[in-house]
Structure 1
Amino acid sequence: MSSLAESQERADAVTEMVKAIAHPVRLRIISLLCQSDQRVIFMAERLERTPAAVSQQLRILRMSGLVSTERREGEVFYTLANPQLRQLLACLDGCQAA
């Protein structure tokens, strides 16, 4: 695996991922999804936003490949596309607290 220092392509991909989560609502959505898979209505309640506003941010996260959907018993649940995002969020949270 090449490092970020050695690969412009890899650096570009990481930059796009960081841009996708560099919004307070999207960051909080990812944080909720780190806890468990979620429905839009639940996230909207937790974030004190409308379901439409949360859906708009989820669309950006889906397009970035950070979240995916799964249909269960007729309902759509959002989930992390890459479980390593949990580590990233824990690291970011720890860096902020330092």
Structure 2
Amino acid sequence: MNRDIQEFKSEFFKALAHPLRIRILEVLSEGDRNVNEIQAIIGSEGSAVSQQLAVLRNKNVVSGTKDGTSVVYSLRDPLIKDLLKVAKQIFDNHLVDAISMLENIRKE
């Protein structure tokens, strides 16, 4: 595999490697939002949301468009929404496996 692609993937997944950034992406997958809207939905401090948005912008995961005095954020690539869905499916699969393993242990 091309080293540039591997490097891109590594940096991309580093950008996703924070629970608040994942939550921000989930919110943005539902539609474009400004910092105040994201903060209200998540229930987190504005400074924390702004810091994580800066990381996502620097890694080109989200983009921001000036709208008056605020910036409206959006996903740079709509496939990120699909990636989040796949990650949820993987989580569900692991959960099903863990439940099955626990049921087998209880039977023993």
TM-score, structure 1 as length reference: 0.89
Match of 2:60 in 1: 65
Alignment of 1:71-82 (within 5 A): 71-82=66-77
Matched, 1:54 2:49: yes
Matched, 1:22 2:2: no
Q: Distance in 1 between matches of 2:38 and 2:68?
A: 19
| Aligned-residue identity in percent | 30
Matched, 1:37 2:32: yes
For each residue in 1:5-61, what CA deviation from the matched residue of structure 2 results, as whole angstroms up to 9, or x when unmatched? x11210110110001011000000011111100111111122111111100000000
Q: Distance in 1 between matches of 2:6 and 2:70?
A: 36
Aligned Cα RMSD in Å? 1.1
Q: Distance in 2 between matches of 1:37 and 1:13?
A: 25
Match of 1:3 in 2: none
The count of aligned residue pairs is 93
Match of 1:9 in 2: 4
- Structure 1's unaligned 5+ residue stretches are 1-5
Moved more, 72-81 or 34-43: 72-81
State the SS of the aligned residue for 1:57.
helix
Q: Which stretches of structure 1, 4 residues or more, deviate above 4 A after TM superposition?
A: none
Shift in Å, 1:71: 2.3
